[in-house]
Structure 1
């Protein structure tokens, strides 16, 4: 890792960059009016847990890029393995009867890390395409086993499973459901978000858990068990607000899946590769053996795009049955890209050699404790943190849990103050979400908490002064 020299930043023509960004670059989740007026925070360099804008200002990136810069930015060994693989083999056809060496090695490694008999891997280009692949695999499996009616899937409200047409439809975050977009509804169903903070008043956590499980079972029976193919679930709901379900939730939902012959699809695009202190969290943290795991993000620590759909021997035995002449007519030009696969293998090697999983257990528990100290502040309704996934939810009234008007954009207000102080958190309407790199230190956790505390108090004072609270 190398901190950029001051001279590095002198190359940028700020005015030209801002103008070109506004004129030509349509961002993901582009907020048109806001971007037209304010432009973007333009990033030029990164080092470990920090990133730098084009003027040289440094920010502690508590968002970890997009839940993904796990081993930190600017690592020489990552750059070297990428360059070496480009020189050796920059691309290879991934379809049908061709394979490349590093893709084979990566699939073997992923099978060794995945729980139980999840020994088969379909490589994709990212998280959305991994979940899209899982959905198509579910269809292929049910048709192959002679159950063509068993195609409905169940997900949760506030879930996020990707941004393709299909995966955005499987997810169901209110903030993602722009009225100008269409969404698939045929054969896709949603049940309650397992957020105990928003459970009905007076309901105990055990009662809430019973309600969630019963609702799931009722939904299956209403649709008809012979028609329901799979349940899609993030172990912890990431973009939906770091929703940590009640103790035992996933195990009981999995038991319902087994009872009615549903596949359990665990979307570990965020939670895998160390974010919860394990390579995969579904079995080790939540006690569930899934049929399919989807992963991306931390798989390469964001150095290059790559995802994977990892699935069981049971599924493989059905779809690959000898003599059937089947072909899984699904794939992407950049599936199993050799440079991306080499990057993933080096990334996993770093996690193992630097014992980052144990580090996450330590620093993650520290982050849980330190963030909890924000709970007594004005505006803070709920603090949710599990290792290196965290969220602070802001409310207008702590007793009733009443939210501020969406137009006030309270999460953005606090985020912008933090940005001025050199800290990046992710604002999602009423929330500030965090997912720092796995290499984060205790001192950096303290920095996050101290800056957030200042920003929350300053924002509360501003709202009082303006008569908005």
Structure 2
């Protein structure tokens, strides 16, 4: 399709974009049209080459244009374009991908439910646990613990699990969710040491459980590193201790690895290999197919599966496209490619280079904190580094930084006063250095204009 930018934007007036200011789009129509992609780069409709600093949206882990995945999808469509995994039907791609995920997941997480987005994967996890408790004769055990700063999706349930800032003006299943304290030490720790702050977070968790009643709570859901809430990393040991509290109160731990899985932190799954604990459920999407097809997975323990698969009731949950053959084929090819090229292992080196380079930006006047790990990083801008005072929303510092970077050839994601970087995992050392130079020059430009 060979269309001009104007023709594309005219047609685009009918498209509703996600998580954006729709009124602003109506007023000024400022959009970037991406038309081509290869490796770590994308090209816009005016022919400009840009570093894909957000990997599509946290997801194109193996880079764009990989023939291995494209050909696998094509072969699958030529063989079996679609059949459902409803009732007693299955097909080879879904079966083989489920087996592969069970082999990669930690502990006894051996059962896999496929859907088409991280939101639905998380929604599925909670629905499964509520059904699990109904089957055990405890229907009141259905509430969910989440955290301020979390992002778990935008379905009616998962938007309630997401940090309250994302649901302003929207209804959700808020009566089912309680948000624990944000684990962001730099912002919330005050005069406490990091160890003292961790103790305070665990006290908050225990106090909340006691107040709500463990008999009413089915799950604690947590991202190993918070993504769309601002790339927030909890204090060391947080997830291990939270897991122990969940065990103490018979609450299931749901690890939302929609972003952190499939190499972004240097491992196929981060829960055990990076954070030292095995959850009851892992949810994932994004890097599962590197974005080549929409696919998510809810991976549950054998213990949960035995309860929900017992006699007496049917499993009344399903999506038409669950385990779609082309999506499952993309997942298998994506994992095979990551294993053959040892991409998670490479990320342990290149990701550290990327992280180190970005952390050096803290010498700039308006950079308050650089946080995250490997290829999952956030840069927070402040008016005053001593007091950590934020810029006003009207200053739109994150948006200005993203615009300055894009002008220089890098796509980054603005989020209030934070700039998020989550590039493809195939970034070369040279491209990482170039990204660091662009960010430094861009931040200097907006600083001089303040």
TM-score by length of 2: 0.98
Does structure 2 conserve the Cα–Cα contact (< 8 Å) formed by 1:418 and 1:455?
yes
Q: What do residues 114-157 of structure 1 show as CA deviations (whole Å, max 9, x unaligned)? A: 00000000011111110010010010111111111111110001
CA distance in 1, matches of 2:217, 2:21: 37
SS in 1 for 2:226: coil
Give the aligned partner of residue 120 of structure 1.
111
Q: Does 1:212 align with 2:190?
A: no
Matched, 1:351 2:329: no
Give the whole-Å Cα distance in 2 for the aligned partners of 1:229 and 1:76: 43
Structure 2 counterpart of 1:277: 266
- Aligned partners of 2:132, 2:269: CA distance in 1, in Å? 24
Residues 1:40 and 2:31 aligned together: yes
- TM superposition shift of 1:12: 2.3
1:177 Cα deviation after fit? 2.3
| 8 Å CA contact 2:5, 2:33 repeated in 1 | no
For 1:267 and 1:200, the matched residues in 2 are separated by 24
Alignment of 1:387-398 (within 5 A): 387-398=374-385
1:72 to 54, 57, 63: 63
Answering whether residue 153 of structure 2 is matched by residue 162 of structure 1, we say: yes
Is 1:410 aligned with 2:400? no
Q: Do structure 1's residue 372 and structure 2's residue 362 form an aligned pair?
A: no
How far apart are 1:412 and its partner, in Å?
0.2
Q: Could you tell me how far apart the structure 1 residues matched to 2:153 and 2:109 are?
A: 22
How does 1:1-400 map onto structure 2 within 5 Å? 11-22=2-13, 24-36=14-26, 37-174=28-165, 176-179=166-169, 181-321=170-310, 324-400=311-387
CA contact 1:173–1:240 (8 Å) conserved in 2: no
What are the ranges of 5 or more consecutive residues in structure 2 without an aligned counterpart? Answer: none
Task: Output the CA distance in 1 between the equivalents of 2:189 and 2:118.
Answer: 33
Whole-angstrom distance in 2 between the partners of 1:408 and 1:177: 22
Structure-2 residue corresponding to 1:424: 411
Task: Name stretches of at least 5 consecutive residues in structure 1 with no aligned partner.
Answer: 1-7, 464-469
Give the whole-Å Cα distance in 1 for the aligned partners of 2:236 and 2:364. 27
Q: Is the contact made by 1:144 and 1:319 (CA closer than 8 Å) also made in structure 2?
A: yes
Name the SS of the counterpart of 1:165 in structure 2: coil
Report the aligned-residue RMSD.
1.0
- What is the CA distance between 1:173 and its match in structure 2? 4.7
Question: Which consecutive segments of 4 or more residues in structure 1 shift more than 3 A?
Answer: none
Moved more, 209-218 or 36-45: 36-45
Residue 202 of structure 1: how far off its partner (Å) = 1.1
Contact 2:82 2:324 in 1 (8 A): yes
Give the TM-score of the pair, scaled to structure 1.
Answer: 0.94
Q: Is the 8 A contact 1:304 1:343 kept in 2?
A: yes
